[in-house]
Amino acid sequence: MELYFLGTNAGVPSLERNVTSVALRLLEERRSVWLFDCGEGTQHQILRSPLKLSKLEYIFITHLHGDHLFGLPGLISSRAYQGGDTPLVIFGPRGLKRFVETSLELSESRIQYKLEIVEHDGGIVLEDDFFRVESALLEHRIPSYGYRVIEKDLPGKLDAEILERYGIRPGPLYGKLKKGESVMTPGGEMLHASEVLGKPKAGRIVTILGDTRSCQAAEVLAKDADVLVHEATFLHELADTAHEYHHSTARQAAETAKTAGVNELFLTHFSSRYKSEEQLERLQQEAEAVFVNSQLAREHVLYPIQRRGKDIS
């Protein structure tokens, strides 16, 4: 599980940074990529990255401002030409379906794979055997949502030495034991999963927020997350401006991370007024003063999401 930022600017792109998009690469977990927001130029950023559109499984749109979704029509149209033939599902606020379908209809774009658009009002937007994605409404000028990606707990490791003594080799019986089932050994003994299965590993939690002021919903979505991705549009000296435009400062992002008890904070969605490295470093320093484990999101850098190393007792 890795984060890869394709755009970290707010509002408009600059020569240094593109507008908002972040990928969650899940190659080991499910051999796919999930995308959160798709600002203009996102498909160009993907071409310069190790990501492949053919692996794209889900797109989650936080809100309908252009710097978060104007890249969708082009990306959807190009995906098939880059080997994408599997279904693609896009989640987002109400109005997303009309935007996408109108764009594709008027441009007479031909989509050669199954495309599904799911509009939501928060809550659980996706769940399968391995992941659950929850969403909640934040505080912005238009409906803006955050997403909490929860990796479900993983089964513990099987004790190969014990299994070998019972004459059990890798195969179907391994799978049953992994699921917690009891099996009959080749010697005719009943073997219970609890005898050979280690403690389960706690799944990771990644919270990615859309544009927002500081609010309780952000803290709830980020509760005990391994990673929080939070906008930091302004330095706190512009807190009044941030509030007026329904955005957050770097300090406010750090306060949310600290209150929520997250492990690591990534700052993103920087105002284009912050052009130099020195100006960006001020954003990080402001956040670090409140929450030490804060860092700036850098485009075209892979950030592994580590497990905290805790088993479930």
Contacts from 235-239 at CB under 8 Å and sequence distance 24+?
235/274, 235/282, 235/283, 235/286, 236/286
Angle of helix 96-106 versus helix 72-79 axis, rounded to 10: 60
**Residues facing residue 158 across a β-bridge:** 197
128 is in an annotated binding site: no
67 is in an annotated binding site: yes
153 is in an annotated binding site: no
Scan for tokens 């080749």, then name that residue: 186
State the catalytic residues. 67
Contact 284, 232 (CB under 8 A): no
140 is in an annotated binding site: yes
192 is in an annotated binding site: no
Q: How far apart are alpha carbons 224 and 206 in whole angstroms?
A: 9
**Residues facing residue 230 across a β-bridge:** 267
First-to-final CA distance of the chain: 23
121 is in an annotated binding site: no
269 is in an annotated binding site: yes
State the binding site for Zn(2+): 63, 65, 67-68, 140, 211, 269
State the binding site: 63, 65, 67-68, 140, 211, 269
